[in-house]
Amino acid sequence: MPEATATETEAERASSRRSFLLRRLHSLSGVLPVGVFLIVHLWTNASVLGGREPFDHAVDEIQKLPALPLVEVVGVLLPLAFHAIFGVYLATQGRPNAGRYGHGRNWAYVFQRITGGVAFLFVLAHLWELRVQKWLFGMSHHAFYDTLVSHLSELRLGLPLVAILYLVGIAASVFHLANGLATFTMTWGIVTSRAAQRRVAIAFAIFGSGLFLIGASTVVSLSTGTQLPSKAAEPACAPSSAP
């Protein structure tokens, strides 16, 4: 039946085009806006290394952005939800072969899927901890600092378990972003030769390591009270000019 065969072929082509487009959108959403947001978020939170005052100032500046709820929902949450949900679908369709072919990129593929799941759970927990409390239960953004300090410094079984989970979540998120950026340059044809791909992978590995250090320093600061050295302390008592 030629007509049926032609119809099936056209349907297959349409399905293939749709799958290609969704994969491209998934790849793009991981870079912009989700990836950019992660970088900005970690950098902004690192203001806590200077103490509470610069952290509260950074949060205040964000709260002053026009149409902030719309930006958060349309610019961050919806792309994040799409990236996560379609990423789960891709993970169920993939066939990792690192066990048979132990090449670096094959293992990177496996860890990309694992860290994607860990990062998604971490983001959900972090959203519940602060954003959902603010949106639904009236938490003031001025309480973000105290909440984070309380949660990250609390000892359970003698360990700062929440802080440790934060470090794991940040590590997973940063690896997922850095490796995703390297993969992005390859799948979009930005770099094509093996040598260029290796250089790009190394460059993004260094970038990811730096980004993780920023996030880890923030967690350590919030959990222990450690701050970056500031300018030399003022003398306790200024010398009197009186005779």
Q: Domain ranges in the chain? A: 21-224
Backbone angles phi, psi at 155, to 5 degrees: -95, 130
Q: What are the pLDDT tens digits along the chain (243 aa)?
A: 455 566 668 888 888 899 999 999 999 999 999 999 999 999 999 999 999 999 999 999 999 999 999 999 999 999 999 999 999 998 888 766 555 444 777 889 899 999 999 999 999 999 999 999 999 999 999 999 999 999 999 999 999 999 999 999 999 999 999 999 999 999 999 999 999 999 999 999 999 999 999 999 999 999 999 887 754 444 444 443 333
- 166 closest CA partner among 180, 181, 147: 147
Q: Assess whether the previous peptide bond of 33 is cis (omega < 30° from 0).
A: yes
- Class of residue 16 by CB neighbours under 10 A (exposed 0-12, middle 13-18, buried 19+): exposed
| DSSP-derived secondary structure letter, 159 | B
| DSSP-derived secondary structure letter, 240 | P
pLDDT at residue 239, rounded to an integer:
41
Please tell me the pTM assigned to this model. Answer: 0.87
Q: Which run of H or E residues covers position 147?
A: helix 144-153
Q: Could you please state the CATH topology (level 3) that the domain comprising 21-224 is classified under.
A: 3 helical TM bundles of succinate and fumarate reductases (1.20.1300)
**Joined tokens for residue 6:** 């032609």
Report how far residue 86's alpha carbon sits from residue 74's, in angstroms, rounded to the nearest whole number.
Answer: 17
DSSP string, the chain: -HHHHHHHHHHHHHHHHHHHHHHHHHHHHHHTTHHHHHHHHHHHHGGGGG-HHHHHHHHHHHHTSTTHHHIIIIIIIHHHHHHHHHHHHHHHH----TTT---HHHHHHHHHHHHHHHHHHHHHHHIIIIIIHHHHH---GGGHHHHHHHHHH--BTTB-HHHHHHHHHHHHHHHHHHHHHHHHHHHTTS--SHHHHHHHHHHHHHHHHHHHHHHHHHHHHHHH------SPPPPSSPPP---
